[in-house]
Amino acid sequence: MIVLGIETSCDETAAAVVENGTRTLSNVVVSQIDIHREFGGVVPELASRKHVESISMVISKALSDACVDLHDVEAIAVTRGPGLIGSLLVGIGAAKGLSYALNKPIFAVNHLHGHLFASWLDNDQMEFPFLGLVVSGGHTSIFEVRTPLDIEIIGKTRDDAAGEAYDKVSKLLGLGYPGGAIIEKLAEGTSTNGLRFPRALMEPRNLDFSFSGLKTAVLRYSEKIFANRYEKKIPGSFQQITPLEPSSDDCHHIQKIAAAFQEAVIDTVVKKLFMAVEIRKSTRVVVCGGVAANRALRNRVISEGLDRGIDIILPAISFCSDNGAMIAARGYFLYQEGIADSLDFGAKSRW
Ligand code: KG4
Ligand code: ZN
């Protein structure tokens, strides 16, 4: 069963061909990071225009990399939301056109369910039920996935997502966009020297997250340490530090802040994840989404899973950030359940 998966919810134009929901025959991702970097975040109008330019080429390459012809495709899966409406519509339009022209079923996929089903890619050991932590730029949520159609959200962020906190902290420290990989690198092997930022909502049985207080704590601390480096031009808005000389004392401070920030994020998500494991008596855990590419997070989840005898499934790093293969994997399960969509569905910014 060959499924073509298409993903354009944010700033990656992606398509992939997946066989039987697990075997990845191709996975093409064209990132727009270079375009958005100078703005310090994704500019929706630029994103949708770029998707329009790239989508046909990305789909053609996914088919040719997989050595399949359009007529070999048996179903089309596409991200319906949540995401940027203009961006989503580009993928949805392409998918509907193909579905109509080829007379093949179309499956509208929830992007977060796509991240969860990345755990099936190139992994024939995967089984239901499982607990899934999605940590990305837009979401930080815990799901209990009992069957393909029985998916319950049991915790989510009340404000910023974990990846969004990485991006905002990186921006306020003048480090660039996107912040995740930059902060991970600075934090690697760096001691926090006792610097500790707050962890929010840690009371027992609370599975919700909040990262905006952490971000503000980093800002307040940085303002104190780098008092002379902040340009106070826009009252109340996030200020960016002026660039630093490499290996100055200030750089050591930045590294320490990055390490303490990352420790607070990882500590929070891991404690909440295993709190959920205990509450739901789960034995299998999936950690996915862009932030799941973080090696410190991966190592901590693996070691705590080992201590508790819990199976930990971490999708390959290339399947953590947004991609079409995870959408195809999810589409395959919808196909098996007979849940095809008609051609009149629209994009959903929230879902
Ligand atoms: O899943 P994703 O590609 O897009 C969304 O659905 O949001 O996640 C992107 C997010 C960004 O916020 C980025 O900073 C973060 O994932 N990220 C990381 C790492 N790589 C990407 N965060 C922490 N450590 C990383 N290595
Ligand atoms: Zn995503």
Instruction: Give residue 8 CA to ligand 2 midpoint distance, Å.
Output: 10
- The pLDDT score that the predictor gives to residue 256 is 96
From ligand 1's centre to the CA of 294, what distance in Å?
A: 9
Structure token pair of residue 109? 């996929």
Is the fold of 2-122+320-336 the same as that of 130-314? yes
Cα 137 to ligand 1 centroid, rounded to whole Å: 5
Ligand 1 centre from 289 Cα, in Å? 7
> Phi, psi at residue 246, to the nearest 5°?
-60, 150
Residues flanking ligand 1, CB < 6 Å? 10, 136-138, 163-164, 166-167, 178-181, 184, 289-291, 293-294, 321-322
Residue 133: which of 328, 296, 297 has the closest Cα? 297
- pLDDT per position in the chain (351 positions), as tens? 999 999 999 999 999 999 999 999 999 999 999 999 988 889 999 999 999 999 999 999 999 999 999 999 999 999 999 999 999 999 999 999 999 999 999 999 999 999 999 999 999 899 999 999 999 999 999 999 999 999 999 999 999 999 999 999 998 888 889 999 999 999 999 999 999 999 999 999 999 999 999 999 999 998 888 876 665 544 444 455 665 665 677 788 999 999 999 999 999 999 999 999 999 999 999 999 999 999 999 999 999 999 999 999 999 999 999 999 999 999 999 999 999 999 999 999 999
Which one-letter amino acid corresponds to residue 225?
A: I
Which residue has 């996107």 as its token pair? Answer: 178
Q: What is the total residue count of the chain?
A: 351
Structure tokens at 336: 């098996």
What was the pLDDT predicted at 242? 61
The atom of ligand 1 lying closest to the CA of 161 is 12
Among 88, 185, 291, residue to substitute to test ligand 1 (most atoms within 8 Å of Cβ): 291
The residue contributing the CA closest to ligand 1 atom 1 is: 290
CATH class of 130-314: alpha beta
Domain residue spans in the chain?
2-122+320-336, 130-314
For 110, the token pair is: 């929830």
> Model pTM?
0.94
Domain 2-122+320-336: top CATH class: alpha beta
Compute the CA torsion angle 257, 260, 261, 262 (nearest 10 deg).
120
One DSSP character per residue, 255-270 reads: HHHHHHHHHHHHHHHH
Measured distance CA(295)–CA(78) in Å, rounded = 29
Rounded to an integer, what distance in angstroms lies between the CA atom of residue 75 and that of residue 184?
A: 38
CA of 167 to the centre of ligand 1 (A): 8
- Closest ligand 1 atom to 179 CA: 14
What is the DSSP-derived secondary structure letter of residue 234? S
